[in-house]
Structure 1
Amino acid sequence: MGYGPLPTELTDALGEQIREVGREYGTTTGRPRRVGWFDACVARYSVALNGIGSIALTKLDVLDGFDPIPICTSYLSTGERHDYPMSNISHLKHSEPIYEELPGWLAPTTGVRRPEDLPKAARRYIDRLAELSGAPIDLVSVGASRDQTIWLDPSRLGPVEPVGQHQEEAGRHRQVPQR
């Protein structure tokens, strides 16, 4: 909802369409959220700065039916190309996004539950985002329901504790010593 620079912001009918499909409105205020194409410059910077090990890509289903799908790979500011956001916010505010376009998928993804069932173009999109960001994408959501979450590489999750055992341990850790 913020007011900072968003070089990939879509303020036209396409942005409105994406906002409607993705239900991008403030939960409390109902105000429309700002929407834009994936910004690999910001993602790359965040991965490097914060040591991010993997990415969860949500709302992939919002892009169902779009073709092509742009990805911001760099910015053009004062005649120079930048692969990371500029530290001077006014330069970022006036920069032009440089896009790479990937083919979209014209099939719904909301019913997909396994990575191998995603449309090939969606897989290429996910792989390209991971490549541009510098971190693997381990999780993709294709809807709001829990069962619409797809783990792309379950082997990276490690062992999973039974729910009951985890809840028991969590309860023990919550005990506060008496004074």
Structure 2
Amino acid sequence: MFVNLEKIADFLDGELPNGAKMLDIGGGDGALVERLLSRRPDLAVTMCDPAPSIGTFLSNANRARVKLLPATYLNDVTGRYDAVTICDVIHHVPVEQRDAFFKSLAESCERWACRKIILKDVEPGGVRAMLSLLSDWHITGDKHVVLFSRADFAAMARRYFPKAQRASAVPDWPNYCEVLSW
């Protein structure tokens, strides 16, 4: 109802290089990674999330292909990654902690030798975005959720990734994708 994961997986599929090592930050239940891996057997995926249980929507076949890092924050992840995906995460980060999140992301990308970030989030405005927000507030109980606009992302990108080229797409309004590469 809130997002067409097939359209988002289509977008990610087109952005990830062949044989990519991908880090999915805040992967949660793994529903998007499941769809992506079903299309892309060449990907090697690591999922990290501060939650103690992640990847519950991964099929047995795809779960074997994903390194799960539950109860793990991005600054604790080691390794090398070709791309980082961050899908429906930033609106859950409290507004006053978003700068620290992006600063940590920039520092971590240096450590990981990563040169590509793909972010998916929800643009404020419209009925579907409001329903998504209300669902977070009243169904999941996440009362501090504040949607993260494309303009907010552009400001963070300029601040923490000043040399990056930015590309935008809206594969499933109000769900948008932003790509930083450098």
TM-score with structure 1 length normalisation? 0.30
Could you say which structure has the higher helix fraction? Answer: 2
Of structures 1 and 2, the larger Rg is shown by 1
Could you say which structure has the higher strand fraction? Answer: 2
